[in-house]
Amino acid sequence: MNNTNPLGATSAGTSSGKPFEQIELRIGGMTCPHCPPAIEKAIAAVPGVTSVHVNLASNTARIRYGPARTKLADVLQAIRAIGYVPGTATLRIPIKNMHCSSCSIRIELALQMTPGVVHAWASLGTNAVDVEYDPETVDFGAIRQAIEQAGYHVAEPKLKNQADLLDPAEAALEDEYRTLMRKFWFAAVITIPVIALSYPDLIPGLRDWMPMGSGTRRVVWALLGVLSFPVMAWSGSQFFSGMWNALKHRAANMHTLIATGITAAYAYSVVAVAWPEVFPDPKLAEVFWDVTDVVVALVVLGLALEIKARGRTSQAIKKLIGLQAKTARVLRDGKEIDLAVEEVLAGDTVIVRPGEKIPVDGQVTTGASAIDESMITGESMPVEKVARDEVIGGTLNKTGSFRFRATKVGKDTALANIIRMVKDAQGSKAPIQRVVDTVSGYFVPSVMILAVLAFVAWYDFGPEPRLVFSTIVFVTTLIIACPCALGLATPTSLTVGIGKGAENGILIRSGDALQSAENLDAIILDKTGTITRGEPALTDVVVIAKGQAENEILRLAASLERGSEHPLGEAIVKGAEARGIGLAEAEGFAAIPGHGIAGRIDSQDVLLGNAKLMRDRGIATQSLEADWERLANAGKTPMYVAIDGKPAGLVAVADTVKPDSKAAIEALKALGIEVVMLTGDNERTGRAIASQVGIERVLSEVLPEQKAHEVQKLQLEGKTVGMVGDGVNDAPALAQADVGFAIGTGTDVAIEASDVTLIKGSLFGVVTAIEISRATMRNVRQNLVGAFGYNVLGIPVAMGVLYPFLGILLSPLIAAAAMAFSSVTVVTNANRLRLFAPKRIA
Amino acid sequence: MSPDRLSVTIAGVLLIAFIVWFFWFKRSKGTRAAETSGGYQEAMILVKGGYTPDTIIVRAGRPVRLNFRREETAACSDKVIFADFQKSADLPTGETVPVELMPKEPGEFSFACPMGMFRGRLIVE
């Protein structure tokens, strides 16, 4: 149905208010010649549409409609309803001064009045407006103009993307670090004179100048108290606000402990200076300003260092986010234009020059180049790309210029998926963390109880001066306990470990998967596509007659196969090309289904096919049968070649083993893991491949739907089983396995059924994943043992349990130092994982 | 036992009893999530020293959207984790971050910051 007026007759009006508007919509998913009529029919059925013309070549629909009667949204809906993708783009634009719901309505209205904007949703929750628009009619500039004309401002010149999401958080952390360091220096400067003057009895000159009980001492100490007050009130302010915020929720945290401790020390000192007469013994009238100051200074320094160290744990994800291109050069209406990467649509032709980043995912249409994909796949060698090859957004074009058709943009790109998956995984919890969670829920109140118990015990049974000892012990116990070290132990290691995986092209989906991968007993490898390449390749050429070159047989076979579209034929042609053999034209080509092919090349009759074909044509093949048997036993597919009615030789193709599969399987065995091969092939073919790569246990002739069952059978042997497969056909088996490893190809990384996705197709990814898992879990355990051990040993010592036996009592100053650096130590240990390097053979 | 020792001991025991009661015997009633026209059950959660409210009641089988707004810079609370739903979200200071969940089964599910210092519960009925 082509109910158009001649296109020239339509007046192209784009401003609203005119009786007709004409727009050009990009339509995705048109692959066949009968698509355009179907789309035209659907669009024309929308009320108010006066004409429609769909152009298959440019993938566009030109639509003329009356804006009074037609909403663009209805047109898009009609296109969607019949299964095509209208090429609108959706943008999220942050708005600066949107405060009330009437604002959001006004912005929505303003945008919806703009020609080309299909829909706008403003949300106060996100302080942003989502705009769906037709990019052929309106661009970001016009949308921005519409927002500004309505009296609002776009919050930042940049469009919101993943990178911008991180920036404010980063800036906030940097700010916090600087504030903490200023607080530290302030406290440190005051601490020095306070320490010196707090112990006049130890310093000869001071002892005489301000003897115990003298007025001078009282005045000096009062001045120290005045000096120390801002240290507590400003440098230590976060402890009090943190304690208060938690108390409102009837919860306690590190801040509660520190704030209580320093307040106790400060309050005691105030009493000692202001009302020394309340103490029965003048010796009791001591001051602990130094404790307050030192604790504040050290703990604040510890917090600052921890922020720095924690920033480093998420370096991997920052690197990934930094990979995203900002702009893309796109061909629109025959012109090359630079666009923000968010405005690139699926179906656009993107132009990439040497040294540029590839902005989105796509398929090369023209040109060729070498592309550095190491940042995504971990593969260090640049990959050659020609027409029809996939390119991944975020990778770096090295040598040549090329054009590609964008297939995945925005949130759908491989890189965006990787970032999302890594973030989710880093935020997930390893099962081991649940134990810690339970403990940390009770930790702080328990410490407070222990501190009170220690105070009472020292007061009731301790040596004189009892009040001083009980106060010191109370403060020390509160200060030394470090819930942070406990809380940080697992998440920081997990963040680094999962980030490390991403750096090596391994996406670990959750902390659960990471922990399970540590204890795998057995791994099942699906043969096709996992151990092998998954596509046939030429392996052998056998020559019967002396004097005939292998290459000649291959030349004839390949020249003949050039006409066929059989995958085995393609393998032979590729094999010949790889050997640099020039192919000839075949005349009288004939395919004999189920048997082979025949034709004339360079005035020779050439036959290529199976034994039945040879028998039918009366060609004796006895002399080749031994070779045929040998090749077939090795799991290959041999084919006879006959020239002018005489047997000439064999060419064999087979699904070949990936070059590093054997080494990877050896490495798996070296990790103490049983390797099992699973295949749908018969026993003989399966064994042949298995022996090549050194696998003893083969499960052959397994139907696809039985794969999950085979995994279960192995699990019933009491083993923790990993399964490696392609993620599509093997999804149930991957899900059944304790850890499912999906071998990804190119841009398809979001494989739902898998626990681990290997972006690069190599089996070594499995080895590296297990190594990362083991290294990370080892690191987690070190951290947990360290943090638990620190608290389990430190708290009793602080309470003074060693005093009756060894006379050891911890100074609160030492406790403060220990506490401040225990959490820094945990984070630093986690950062050590960043040095992890996979043992791999390049 | 001298009177001062006795009074310190009694005060200590009372203090311990108070700590146990204050921190461990709290029971919040919970806030029921509002149902929106879009079919979502929505609730706003303030992140400041804890989650306010920290107990959200929703109905099973309907999507839930929890809007977290963090108004502090403490490093601990920069992420919220729903371990049972395998979901987590970064919470930049001053931004409202929606977390969408689909509770299929009734039950009690906790959410927390990565270190487990802040805790909240999602009660699914």
How does strand A369-372 pair with strand A396-397?
A: antiparallel
A242 close to B (CB below 8 A)? yes
From B12's Cα to the closest Cα of chain A, the distance in A is: 6
CA B18 to CA A507: how far, in whole Å?
48
pLDDT in tens, A544-553: 766 668 888 8
A552 close to B (CB below 8 A)? no
Which residues are paired to A91 by β-bridges? A131
Identify the residue among A248, A250, A299, A464 best suited for mutation to test binding to B, counting B beta carbons within 10 A and taking the highest. A250
Residue A420 has pLDDT above 90, yes or no: no
Stretch A69-84: mean pLDDT, rounded? 75
Say whether B49 and A244 touch across the interface (CB within 8 A). yes
Kindly give, in sequence order, each residue whose CB lies less than 8 Å from that of residue A378, ignoring residues fewer than 6 positions away.
Answer: A503, A504, A505, A506, A759, A760, A765
CB count in 10 Å sphere of residue A177: 17
Stretch A426-453: mean pLDDT, rounded? 84
Say whether B75 and A440 touch across the interface (CB within 8 A). no
Residue A226 has pLDDT above 90, yes or no: yes
All residues of chain B having their beta carbon less than 8 Å from the beta carbon of residue A487 are 76, 114-117
From A421's Cα to the closest Cα of chain B, the distance in A is: 10
Q: Which range (A61-70, A504-513, A730-739) has the least confidence?
A: A61-70
- The CA angle A346-A352-A355, to the nearest 5 degrees, is 140
Say whether A423 and B90 touch across the interface (CB within 8 A). yes
Which residues are paired to A92 by β-bridges? A130
A452 close to B (CB below 8 A)? yes
All residues of chain B having their beta carbon less than 8 Å from the beta carbon of residue A242 are 49, 74
Residue A602 has pLDDT above 50, yes or no: yes
**Residue A255: pLDDT band with limits 50, 70, 90:** confident
User: Which pTM value belongs to this model?
Assistant: 0.72
Which residues are paired to A117 by β-bridges? A133
All residues of chain B having their beta carbon less than 8 Å from the beta carbon of residue A173 are 73, 75
Say whether B117 and A253 touch across the interface (CB within 8 A). yes
Stretch A582-607: mean pLDDT, rounded? 84
The share of chain A scoring above pLDDT 90, in percent, equals: 22
Selection from A384-393, A446-455, B97-106 with the highest mean pLDDT: A446-455
CB < 8 Å from B in window 304-333 of A: 306-307, 310
CA B13 to CA B19: how far, in whole Å?
10
Stretch A630-655: mean pLDDT, rounded? 86
- The CA angle A89-A93-A97, to the nearest 5 degrees, is 155
B116 close to A (CB below 8 A)? yes
- Contact at 8 Å (CB) between A363 and A391? yes
Q: Which is catalytic among the residues A293, A348, A361, A526? A: A526
How far CA A98 is from CA of A122, A153, A699, B95, in Å, comes to: 9, 9, 63, 14
Quote the pLDDT of residue A460.
Answer: 92
Identify the residue among B115, B118, B119, B121 best suited for mutation to test binding to A, counting A beta carbons within 10 A and taking the highest. B115
CA dihedral A363, A369, A375, A379 (to 10 degrees): 100
How does strand B87-90 pair with strand B79-82?
A: antiparallel
Say whether A251 and B88 touch across the interface (CB within 8 A). no
CA A269 to CA A815: how far, in whole Å?
19
- Count how many pairs of residues, chain A against chain B, have C-beta atoms within 8 Å: 135
User: Which of B15, B78, B92 is nearest residue A452 as measured by Cβ atoms?
Assistant: B15
CB < 8 Å from A in window 54-93 of B: 54, 67, 72-76, 78-79, 81, 83, 86-90, 92-93
Say whether B119 and A251 touch across the interface (CB within 8 A). yes
Selection from A191-200, A359-368, A370-379, A752-761 with the highest mean pLDDT: A359-368
Stretch A609-621: mean pLDDT, rounded? 85
Say whether B20 and A460 touch across the interface (CB within 8 A). no
All residues of chain A having their beta carbon less than 8 Å from the beta carbon of residue B20 are 445, 449
For the question of residue A526 being annotated catalytic, the response is yes
Say whether B24 and A445 touch across the interface (CB within 8 A). yes
CB < 8 Å from B in window 593-612 of A: none
How far CA A841 is from CA of A536, A576, A629, A745, in Å, comes to: 25, 29, 34, 21
For residue A477, give the nearest of A237, A195, A809, A253 by alpha carbon: A809
Sign of CA dihedral A198, A203, A205, A208: positive
Residue A537 has pLDDT above 90, yes or no: no
- What phi-psi label fits residue A602: left (phi over 0), alpha (psi between -120 and 50 degrees) or beta? left
- Contact at 8 Å (CB) between A117 and A109? no
User: Which of B49, B78, B90 is nearest residue A242 as measured by Cβ atoms?
Assistant: B49
Quote the tokens at residue A274. 């202001």
Beta strands in A474-603 (DSSP E): 506-508, 522-526, 532-543, 587-592, 596-601
Phi, psi of A613 (to 5 degrees): -60, -45
Full strand arrangement of the beta sheet holding A532-543: A532-543, A646-657, A637-643, A604-609, A596-601, A587-592
- Contact at 8 Å (CB) between B94 and B73? no
More confident residue, A315 or A738: A738
Stretch A301-315: mean pLDDT, rounded? 84
| The 3-state secondary structure of A760-789, one letter per residue | CCCCHHHHHHHHHHHHHHHHHHHHHHHHHH
Kindly give, in sequence order, each residue whose CB lies less than 8 Å from that of residue A47, ignoring residues fewer than 6 positions away.
Answer: A69, A70, A74
DSSP B58: E
Full strand arrangement of the beta sheet holding B87-90: B31-32, B55-58, B119-124, B107-112, B79-82, B87-90
From A438's Cα to the closest Cα of chain B, the distance in A is: 9
Helix %, strand %, coil % of chain A (to 5):
50, 20, 30
Quote the pLDDT of residue A183.
Answer: 94
Q: What is the mean pLDDT of chain A?
A: 82
Quote the pLDDT of residue A165.
Answer: 45
CB < 8 Å from A in window 4-43 of B: 5, 8-9, 12-13, 15-16, 19-20, 22-24, 26
**Residue A739: pLDDT band with limits 50, 70, 90:** very high
Say whether B117 and A244 touch across the interface (CB within 8 A). no
**Residue A89: pLDDT band with limits 50, 70, 90:** low
B114 close to A (CB below 8 A)? yes
A434 close to B (CB below 8 A)? yes
Which residues are paired to B112 by β-bridges? B81, B119
Quote the pLDDT of residue A126.
Answer: 65
All residues of chain A having their beta carbon less than 8 Å from the beta carbon of residue B94 are 168
**Residue A163: pLDDT band with limits 50, 70, 90:** very low
**Residue A780: pLDDT band with limits 50, 70, 90:** very high
Selection from A103-112, A279-288, A798-807 with the highest mean pLDDT: A798-807
Residue A796 has pLDDT above 90, yes or no: yes
All residues of chain B having their beta carbon less than 8 Å from the beta carbon of residue A445 are 19-20, 23-24
Which residues are paired to A405 by β-bridges? A349, A363
Residue of chain A whose alpha carbon sits nearest to that of B11: A456
pLDDT in tens, A208-222: 787 777 788 888 889
All residues of chain B having their beta carbon less than 8 Å from the beta carbon of residue A175 are 73
Say whether A460 and B9 touch across the interface (CB within 8 A). yes
Residue B62 has pLDDT above 70, yes or no: yes
Quote the pLDDT of residue A413.
Answer: 86
How does strand A646-657 pair with strand A637-643?
A: antiparallel
Quote the pLDDT of residue A749.
Answer: 62
CB count in 10 Å sphere of residue A791: 21
* Distance, CA of A711 to chain centre: 28
CA A783 to CA A777: how far, in whole Å?
10
| Check: complex ipTM more than 0.95 | no
Q: Which residue has the tokens 């080309």?
A: A116
